[in-house]
Amino acid sequence: MPFLGKVLVIDDDPNVLELIKLYGEREGFKVVGINNGSSALAAFDRENPDVVILDIMLPGIDGLTLCRNFRAIRMVPIIMLTAKGEEADRVLGLEMGADDYVSKPFSPREVVARIKAVLRRTQTIDPMTNWKIKYPGLEIQADVRRVLVNDKEIELTPKEFDLLYHLAQNPRRVFTREELLTSVWGYDYYGDRRTVDVHIRRLRSKLLSLAHDYLTTVWGVGYQFTPPVKGGENI
């Protein structure tokens, strides 16, 4: 079985650690489990994971603080584990930089599917495709996953980059939230459409003055990328 990547799971419930380890390793992942927040930063640095599964409620350092700290170190995909029905926690986790969330209790197969989805989206993009998209003030370099705003690089999370790139590849096409969840997150829509709204809001805050020009809300439908009529190019 091919090695698919390393997953760091941070949760104080031993059953959660055991389930994700069992199902993840069955699919070809190496899974490392940590049962408290205090040891998580050292484990993140030591293990250099490809994906992090992170519970919000942890002894020591809570998951939201860890998410923010991980983001300051490296832009690894982060999937938050939240209690079922805790909508505020889910939204806050996304605001802190998480790429996705799974509500407890969960299906371990669903978690593995989410891991595969975030890894698929962060793999190197084929340079024979439209790997560079340029519009006035905005450049998206897909091969190295960089975004420049007015020639200055901005930091995006993996999912923020994927969402912007997907929209920019389809200028002026209006996407529903469900379509974006399927295309960008890579799984059928099960949960809160607010996941897309939060990521759009974060993108707008990082694109600054360009946000009004490029990311448009189509009320009652979804979102679209609206570049100038002239001046854009795909390289």
pLDDT digits (tens, 9 = 90+) for 190-231: 556 788 899 999 999 999 888 788 999 999 899 999 987 654
Please check the confidence at residue 48 and state whether its pLDDT lies above 60.
yes
Do 63 and 101 fall into the same domain?
A: yes
66 in Cβ contact with 49 (< 8 Å): no
Q: Name the range with the highest mean pLDDT among 40-44, 157-161, 183-187.
A: 40-44
Instruction: Check whether residue 115 and residue 136 sit in a common domain.
Output: no
Q: Are residues 111 and 70 in the same domain?
A: yes
Is residue 153 a contact partner of residue 161, using CB atoms and an 8 Å limit? no
Gap between the terminal Cα atoms of the chain: 37
The model's pTM is 0.71
CATH number for the domain that contains residue 43: 3.40.50.2300
- Which of 97, 122, 147 represents a domain boundary (last residue)? 122
Is residue 66 assigned to a domain? yes
What is the pLDDT confidence band of residue 22, given thresholds at 50, 70 and 90? very high
Q: Which two tokens stand for residue 20?
A: 């994700």
For residues 184 and 205, membership in a common domain is answered with yes
Residue 161 domain boundaries:
132-234
The CATH number assigned to the domain holding 173 equals 1.10.10.10
Percent of the chain with pLDDT over 90: 40
Asked whether residue 113 falls in the same domain as residue 154, the answer is no
The residue among 93, 122, 151 that closes a domain is 122
> What's the total number of domains in the chain?
2
DSSP states of 172-196: T--EEHHHHIIIII-S---S-THHH
- Does some domain include residue 127? no
Residues 112 and 141 both lie in one domain: no
Domain end point (choices 70, 102, 122): 122
15 lies in the same domain as 102: yes
Residues 104, 66, single domain; the answer is: yes
Q: Is residue 184 part of a domain?
A: yes
Residue 121 has pLDDT above 90, yes or no: no
Asked if 97 and 167 sit in the same domain, the reply is: no
Dihedral sign of CA atoms 10, 12, 15, 16 in order = negative
- Domain membership of residue 101 (yes or no) is yes
| Same-domain status, 54 and 24 | yes
Residue 156 lies in a domain: yes
pLDDT above 80 for 89: no
